[in-house]
Amino acid sequence: MRNFPESDGTAGARSPGDPSPTTASPAGSGPLVTAGGEEDTTAERKREVRRDLQAVRAAMAPEEALEAAESLAGRVLALPEVAAARTVAAYVAVGQEPGTRLLLEELRRRDVRVLLPVLLSDDDLDWAGYEGRESLRETEHGNGRIRLFEPAGERLGTGAVREAEVVLLPGLAVDARGVRLGRGGGSYDRALTRLIGGSLEGGPAGGGPLLAVLLYGHEVMDELPCEPHDRPVHLAVTPEGIHRFSGPGSAAG
């Protein structure tokens, strides 16, 4: 896995070295091929990348994850877009995702209205306000396969996310175009399509919310498999720094 140097600049240049087996092939080099010689589909390539990234997360030590969560919160709160926001859509990290609980508490302490997702039976996302840690309840989805912490308050509807000036997204990786790799459930793809009207326009320049994915440093890659429904983000925040991309519109195709 290749990283960009952590910086506050715009990510775009490729880092030196050979492509990782789990990243997409460089432009013009053709699709990845399975051991049996058959061309892999984009969906299968995504699954391979997910497996590798999840294995790295699973190997993280608890103290490493806690330190990363503290640094990540500081990076997010320092963003000028977050400092100016009245409403931020976020999420409660689970497992070895980059931690968000410190961030949620600090946003609330600053009187920022925080919206958290509630997973629906069709995998779409409803939203409710965050009222502190005591307002969260552990919920099971998919016959116990997925355990999430969700707000217990009033449901505000799937369209409530449009009220946020900043949307903080979970993910497993992002690339130089801002293409985000999620877990594959499609919930956030629906939310992003709803936010940007089914097009690749939006974000600060287009009048929509700032879209930011929260990751570990090694999860910022050169190129990821991309499908037509994938919606790019404006920036990635890692414990080490900020990566700004050219924004939605750059990952078309």
CA dist 72 and 93 (Å) reads 12
* Beta pairing class for 166-169 and 87-89: parallel
- Per-chain mean pLDDT for the chain: 78
Of 32-41, 90-99, 225-234, which one has max mean pLDDT? 90-99
- Per-residue DSSP letter, 135: G
For position 191, what pLDDT does the model report? 85
For position 121, what pLDDT does the model report? 84
Mean pLDDT, residues 94-109:
94
Please count the other Cβ atoms lying within 10 Å of the Cβ belonging to residue 165.
17
Instruction: Work out the angle at residue 178's Cα, subtended by the Cα atoms of residues 141 and 166, and round it to the nearest 5 degrees.
Output: 65
Of 9-23, 40-54, 61-75, 236-250, which one has max mean pLDDT? 61-75
- Per-residue DSSP letter, 142: T
For position 138, what pLDDT does the model report? 82
For position 79, what pLDDT does the model report? 97
For position 141, what pLDDT does the model report? 62
88: β partners = 114, 166
Prediction pTM value: 0.77
CA dist 247 and 244 (Å) reads 8
pLDDT, one tens digit per residue, over 137-170 is 888 766 556 678 888 888 999 999 999 999 999 9
For position 211, what pLDDT does the model report? 94
Say if CB 129 and CB 115 are below 8 A apart. Answer: yes
Which of 3.40.50.300, 3.40.50.10420, 3.40.30.10, 3.60.110.10 is the CATH number of 42-244? 3.40.50.10420
Which pair of structure tokens corresponds to residue 210?
Answer: 């700032």
